């Protein structure tokens, strides 16, 4: 069932490949798009043009922002620039879906919060490692049903391939991408807060490092965080050490420990199961099984479409999104020796 019929989208900023998942899933809900804008041309711009040849690229983003019929703007610009573009769009009366990280500094986050309060617009960050992964949607269902009891801890792993030859200049500049915890770690912190149900959390440990790329001093290729929430604990590890031989960009995993069982998610690949992704391992008091989740429907996109229409928060609460980015940025600051 599609819920986005009649909603009109526009894209601003095509600097990260996540724009394809964001736009593709929204169009699958029946949303439409006719125009897009981005600041610079590079390989991804060419791919976007090839994928959506019928869309019109405008030279001035105000042509989109001034359009009264645009309901939501999708933003996948350089991370450092996303906050300003989102604020601009909300002040123009548009709801916003922004690629993670939604912002890179606490000052940006404060301005976003103020803008949301003033405008009443939706600012949602597409945490794709939860929102675009069917086995995570299945885990959400099982945890809600009490399949593993009360959640005690999550362990989130976010490994990636370096693929340096494909990376744009901003990938190597710390202020531009925001740091490895702010960027990739936001996925895992989102899942920690969601599955434990924590509304408060302390950062007990955070570190980042450049282990393999001294020629690129702005790069952080390893990071970890330990979190203590008011309803559970969390460990996060993110890195750029996925070997070239793995037939996937990263072996992302999530383990959810409950007091009556556990769930492990093999999100993108399972070497022990024919390299299939979206495999869920469940062990509880009734037994142990592997569940193939590849056909499980995603819930975020139909819900966010409904939220745009009804001014509700069924996909993800605004407070949760703010909390994720606040914790993520503070973890990055702590790891770099700043007082968060």
Residues 249 and 113 in one domain: no
Range 241-255 average pLDDT: 97
Q: Are residues 148 and 18 part of one domain?
A: no
Residue 3 or residue 331, greater confidence: 331
Cβ-Cβ contacts under 8 Å for 281 (sequence gap 6 or more)? 263, 264, 265, 266, 288, 289, 290, 291
Q: How many domains does the chain have?
A: 2
Q: What is the C-alpha to C-alpha distance for residues 233 and 219, in angstroms, rounded to an integer?
A: 28
Q: Are residues 114 and 181 in the same domain?
A: no
User: Which residue carries 């798009």 as its tokens?
Assistant: 33
Whether pTM exceeds 0.85 = yes
pLDDT at 3: 63
* Domain membership flag for residue 307: no
pLDDT, tens digit (0-9, with 9 covering 90-100), for 278-309: 999 999 999 999 999 999 999 999 999 999 99
222 with 164, same domain: the answer is yes
Whether residue 17 is found in the same domain as residue 148: no
Whether 163 has a pLDDT exceeding 80, the answer reads yes
Please tell me whether residues 181 and 231 are part of one structural domain.
yes
Q: Which domain-ending residue is among 69, 93, 126?
A: 126
**64 is in which domain, residue-wise?**
8-126
Out of 298, 315, 330, pick the residue that ends a domain.
298
Q: Indicate if the pLDDT at residue 137 is higher than 90.
A: yes
Question: How large is the average pLDDT for residues 188-208?
Answer: 98
Last residue of a domain, one of 104, 126, 148: 126
With 90 as the cut, is the pLDDT of residue 339 above it?
Answer: no
| Shared-domain flag, residues 53 and 136 | no
CATH number of the domain to which 178 belongs: 3.30.360.10
Is the domain of 148 the same as that of 263?
yes
Residue 24 within any structural domain of the chain: yes
How far apart, in whole angstroms, are the C-alpha atoms of residue 298 and residue 221? 30
The confidence score (pLDDT) of residue 6 equals 86
Structure tokens at 335: 């790891």
Residue 18: give its domain's CATH number: 3.40.50.720
| Residue 178, domain member (yes or no) | yes
**pLDDT score, position 1:** 41
The per-residue pLDDT for 4 is 61
The string of DSSP codes covering 78-140 is -HHHHHHHHHHHHHTT-EEEEESSS-SSHHHHHHHHHHHHHH---EEEE-HHHHT-HHHHHHH
Residue 122 placed within a domain: yes
- Report the SS3 class of residue 301: helix
Q: What's the mean per-residue pLDDT of the chain?
A: 96
Say what the pLDDT of residue 23 is: 98
Question: Per mean pLDDT, which range of 2-16, 49-63, 103-117, 229-243 is the poorest?
Answer: 2-16
Is there a single domain that holds both residue 122 and residue 134? no
Same domain, 150 and 210: yes
The pLDDT tens digits of the residues spanning 39-82 come to 989 889 999 999 999 999 999 999 999 999 999 999 999 999 99
Q: What is the mean pLDDT of residues 306-329?
A: 98
Domain shared by 137 and 269, yes or no: yes
> How do 56-57 and 32-37 pair as beta strands?
parallel
**Residue written as tokens 């916003």?**
96
Residues near 62 by Cβ (< 8 Å), separated by ≥ 6? none
- On whether both 142 and 26 belong to a single domain, the answer is no
Question: What does the pLDDT average to over 114-134?
Answer: 98
pLDDT category of residue 340 using cuts at 50, 70 and 90: low
Q: Which residues contact 58 (CB under 8 A, 6 or more apart)?
A: 35, 36, 37, 64
């Amino acid at each position: 069932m599609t819920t986005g019929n009649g909603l009109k989208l526009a894209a601003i900023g095509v600097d990260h490949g996540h724009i394809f998942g964001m736009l593709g899933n929204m169009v699958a809900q029946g949303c439409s798009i006719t125009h897009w804008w981005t600041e610079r041309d590079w390989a991804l711009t060419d791919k976007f043009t090839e994928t959506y040849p019928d869309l019109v690229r405008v030279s001035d983003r105000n042509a989109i922002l001034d359009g009264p019929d645009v309901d939501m703007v999708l933003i996948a610009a350089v991370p450092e620039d996303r906050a300003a573009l989102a604020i601009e769009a909300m002040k123009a009366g548009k709801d916003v879906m922004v690629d993670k990280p939604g912002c890179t500094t606490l000052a940006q986050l404060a301005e976003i919060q103020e803008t949301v309060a003033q405008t009443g617009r939706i600012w949602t960050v597409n945490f794709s490692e939860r929102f675009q992964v069917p086995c995570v949607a299945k885990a959400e269902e099982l945890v809600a049903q009490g399949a593993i009891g009360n959640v005690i801890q999550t362990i989130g792993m976010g490994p990636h391939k370096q693929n340096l030859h494909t990376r744009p200049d901003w990938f190597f500049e710390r202020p531009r991408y925001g740091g490895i915890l702010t960027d990739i770690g936001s996925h895992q912190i989102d899942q920690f807060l969601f599955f434990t149900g924590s509304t408060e959390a302390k950062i007990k440990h955070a570190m980042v490092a450049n282990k393999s790329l001294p020629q690129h001093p702005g790069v952080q290729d390893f990071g970890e965080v330990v979190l203590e929430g008011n309803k559970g604990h969390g460990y996060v590890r993110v890195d750029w050490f996925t070997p070239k031989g793995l037939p996937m960009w990263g072996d992302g995993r999530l383990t959810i420990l409950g007091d009556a069982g556990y769930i492990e998610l093999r999100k993108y690949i399972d070497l022990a199961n024919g390299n299939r992704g979206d495999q869920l391992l469940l062990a509880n008091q009734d037994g142990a099984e592997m569940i193939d989740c590849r056909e499980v429907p995603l819930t975020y996109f139909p819900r966010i479409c409904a939220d745009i229409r009804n001014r509700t928060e069924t996909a993800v609460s605004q407070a949760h999104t703010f909390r994720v980015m606040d914790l993520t940025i503070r973890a990055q600051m702590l790891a770099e020796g700043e007082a968060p």
